[in-house]
Amino acid sequence: MYKLNLSEINAFFAKIAQNEKLYIPADNGKGGARYTEWAEGVELSNACNTERSAKDFFFPQTENLVDFKVNGKKIEVIDSREECEDFVVFGVRACDVKSFEILDSVYLTDPIDSYYKNRREHGTVISLACSAPEETCFCRTFGIDATKPAGDARAYIAGDSLYIEALTEKGSALLSSLGIAETDDTAAVYAQIAETEKKLAELPLAALEAKDFTKKQLDAFNAPVWAGLSQTCLGCGSCTFVCPTCQCYDIKDFDTGHGIKRFRCWDSCMYSDFTMMAHGTPRNTQLEKFRQRFMHKLVYYPMNNDGVYGCVGCGRCLKKCPISMNIVKVMKSLGEVTE
């Protein structure tokens, strides 16, 4: 493992930022943290996780796909794609790193999404092991180990040092170029892992079980509990927009006055015009829209992906839903009816 003193962390960031853009979680001045481009003076936040997920790096809220210029009867199609610049994201937590795998399974299987792939190839992810999980965290439920996050490299902050190890070739190329000292003395890291494991086991949601609903999909779909769960849902997009694994988008045209920009943007299954077709939308009631979000994460996605769930237990929807409805409440209620 590489090791450096925390007092040198800004010099470490500066070294990375010399060659490529670096993003780290920084305090947002409102009691939370947000990924911020590192520059002199930007400090690493102590927050457990960022309010917005890390999916923005690979799947931004909006992006232009193609431009059109119309001249009389001629339509010129302009491919506005550019090779993305290399960048590094530091401080991604285990749940969010796992969410990249889920996004990959959607965007990197045939047909491959070249926009997503471009960013993914040029991004290097340095994860950061958790040491202070929050009461809303339930990554463990999905078999995610907060003390051993994946990524191209993973870091630990233990005692007064930052420890960091490469997990992929990309990560090892980056780390070896930085001239940091290596160490064999990783006792502090293991002590911290043990301590964090204890904290994880004591979290209020530690006992939450992910039930296998895939064999009872119709029972789950028809469960009477949906009515109560969705009863006061506002149909806003908060839960889907803060979610690191929500991956749906819409494609729209925007008339700039000088041409047409075809862009895509995050969509939400909670919205009234989600998957709107000529005949209307297939899910007219909020119950159906609400059910879609959770069925997708707990049933449809696992059915198509060897039992892997479409939720990583980051807890963002627990914090941000205006009516405090969330996937944990859904899992508990569904668990009871499909027993």
Separation of alpha carbons 24 and 225, rounded Å? 41
Separation of alpha carbons 174 and 18, rounded Å? 12
The reply on whether position 31 binds other proteins by CB under 8 A is: yes
Over the window 261 to 300, marking each residue x when it contacts ligand SF4 by CB under 6 A and - when it does not, the resulting string is ---------x--------------------------x---
Exposed, middle or buried by CB within 10 Å (0-12, 13-18, 19+), for 189? buried
Q: Considering only residues 18, 30, 160, 258, which one is a binding residue for other proteins as defined by CB under 8 A? A: 30
Q: Considering only residues 45, 128, 267, 289, which one is a binding residue for other proteins as defined by CB under 8 A? A: 267
Q: Which is nearer to ligand SF4, 42 or 103 (CB)?
A: 103
Query: Any residues with CB less than 8 A from the CB of 202 and at least 6 apart, and which?
Result: none
Q: Which stretch binds ligand SF4 (CB under 6 A): 20-28, 184-192, 207-215, 229-237?
A: 229-237
Q: Considering only residues 42, 311, 330, 331, which one is a binding residue for ligand SF4 as defined by CB under 6 A? A: 311
E runs forming strands in 56-173: 62-71, 74-78, 87-92, 123-128, 153-158, 161-166
Cα angle for residues 130, 131, 136 (degrees, 5° grid): 70
The reply on whether position 208 binds ligand SF4 by CB under 6 A is: no
Q: Which stretch binds other proteins (CB under 8 A): 7-15, 143-151, 298-306, 314-322?
A: 314-322
Q: Which is nearer to other proteins, 161 or 268 (CB)?
A: 268
Please give the order of strands across the beta sheet that includes 153-158. Answer: 2-5, 161-166, 153-158, 123-128, 87-92, 21-27, 33-37
Separation of alpha carbons 272 and 22, rounded Å? 37
Omega before 204 within 30 of 0, i.e. cis: no
The reply on whether position 235 binds ligand SF4 by CB under 6 A is: yes
Which residues here bind other proteins, judged by CB under 8 A?
Answer: 28, 30-32, 51-52, 61-62, 135, 204-205, 228, 231-232, 234-238, 240-242, 250, 252, 254, 256, 261, 263, 265-268, 271-273, 276, 318-320, 322-326, 328-329
